[in-house]
Chain A
Amino acid sequence: MPKIKFLLADGAELTVEAQNGRTLMETALENSVPGIIAECNGSAACATCHVVLPEEIMSALGPISEHENDMLDFAEASRESGSRLSCQIKVSDAMDNVSVRVPAA
């Protein structure tokens, strides 16, 4: 099971065990990660599960959809180069030990 480290907006860190195949958003909710609200529960409609990922993992994740790309411009925290909606990212072994930052809204 990959381990994922959430870097929280207040500077705290939270490392959780994730299950392959679950989304990063589901993993965050199941572990009560602050700042991941996910109002639409994974439909990429609300932009409230915004995370910032390290550059090195981005290419392993595949292309971003037009819909998610549009939404990210309107997330509450400003978009960064590693920004993604965590509901659109499936956990895999490639994400083991990755640091996922939850940006300050």
Chain B
Amino acid sequence: MSEAVKVVDDVAFEDLLANPYPVFKRVRDLGPVVKVEAANIMMVTRFDDVMAIERDPETFSSVNPQSLLNTVIGPNLMRKDGEDHARERAAIDPSLRPGVVKRCWADPMRAICDDVISQIEHKGEAELFEELAAPIAARALADILGFDGVDWRTMALWSQSLIDGSGNYSHNPEIARKAKEAASGVESAVDRMLSHHRDDPNPSMLSSMLQADPAQTVEQIYANIKVAIGGGLNETRDSILTLILGLLQNPDQFARVLAEPSLWGQAFEEAVRWISPIGMYPRRLTRDTEISGTLVRKGEQVGLCVGAANHDDRRFNDPEKFDLFREKKSHLAFGAGSHFCAGTWVSRALVSQIAVPMVFERLRNLRLRDPRLVRIRGWVFRGPTHMPVVWDA
């Protein structure tokens, strides 16, 4: 006998934005699928359920032509499955493979981090979101896409506008206008670069898409470059800050990482488990099915709350703690299944091997200006939004 979906109707949307983890815990303990009225979505929050769903794309589809994401940026690989998805994914993968990251992107990313840190190094204080993490993430992304001459603030504006537009469920006209403006900005930037990348094949994502077999249409290129901008900037930015925060708040662990640099990778994986930059993404049911005994109907959408799954105490002890020495287990910060984050290897290299080690090496005795000033916000996307620090200049 299957159970009906339970409902939580006494949570405010602001509660989710401020700190979704208590809500996630309540929902996780209540049932495998719970409708949270404030977010207007059925949440799946347990680790094993999310993993099982991601292994069954025929039942839990990413295809959703009516989604706002498709409206705002055009039909794109995040909302496709099977061969359609695989072809578009294969067109960008040659830019993002770990070996390519090491051979082609590590040096330019190091130069970007060096430049950004050089601009603040002498000051002895900074707000790390605006002065460090956002410019590093945006400039690295521009390089990898193959966008010359697009400054980081434009990249950041485009990214935020596309994200806001994709979540504009209240149809706010100003948000829609900004998203449209960002979309045409990206398309113009692609147009400007196409002949360069066609004539001079290189490891950039634009060039990979032009070299792909079958060739990608301009519409596919527009849409998937927009996905990369909307979905490839904030995660890197947020995980840079989260890793720095986790280490500053846990001096014992930090000391061990400094003494043993091979631990940087482990520290990064724990940071993105602890505060996952992407907290939720949707899947649509292609048939009536039970999720751990709870019936969900064909056509309905469930939100896979990977942020919640990464705090599932059935899998992780004391999940709310940053503990890079916890029992080693895989997490879902990069998602799972065929939509496993294409930028995983770029982020691992940039954040854990280049940016954050360089920050601690160059900004001596780095510390929070005041722990009370740190702001962390969001649930679909979550990360530190304000992080003032000081160091010995």
Give A contacts to B, CB under 8 Å: 29, 37, 39-43, 45-48, 66-67, 70-71, 73-74, 105
Q: Is B54 an interface position by the 8 A CB rule?
A: yes
Interface centre among A37, A39, A67, A71 (most CB of B within 10 A): A39
Give B contacts to A, CB under 8 Å: 54-55, 86, 89-90, 93-94, 97-100, 328, 330, 334, 336-338, 340, 342, 344-345
Decide yes or no: A71 and B342 within 8 Å by CB, A39-B336, A41-B55, A43-B89 being known contacts: no
CA distance A48 to B51 in the complex (A): 14
Write the chain A residue with the least CB distance to B332.
Answer: A39
**Cβ contact within 8 Å between B340 and A39:** yes
**Cβ contact within 8 Å between A40 and B97:** no
CA distance A67 to B338 in the complex (A): 15
Interface centre among A40, A48, A66, A67 (most CB of B within 10 A): A40
Partner of B330, one of A29, A39, A41, A42: A39
Decide yes or no: A41 and B97 within 8 Å by CB, A46-B344, A48-B330 being known contacts: no
**Cβ contact within 8 Å between A42 and B338:** yes
Interface centre among B99, B100, B342, B344 (most CB of A within 10 A): B99
CA distance A48 to B94 in the complex (A): 19
Partner of B99, one of A41, A42, A46, A74: A74
Write the chain A residue with the least CB distance to B97.
Answer: A70
CA distance A29 to B54 in the complex (A): 14
Question: How many A-B pairs with Cβ below 8 Å?
Answer: 49
**Cβ contact within 8 Å between A70 and B337:** no
**Cβ contact within 8 Å between B89 and A74:** no
**Cβ contact within 8 Å between A41 and B338:** yes
**Cβ contact within 8 Å between A41 and B345:** no
CA distance A73 to B344 in the complex (A): 15
**Cβ contact within 8 Å between A40 and B98:** no
Write the chain B residue with the least CB distance to A43.
Answer: B338
CA distance A37 to B337 in the complex (A): 11
**Cβ contact within 8 Å between A40 and B340:** yes
Residues of B within 8 A of A74 (CB): 98-99, 345
Distance in Å from the Cβ of A4 to the closest Cβ of chain B?
20
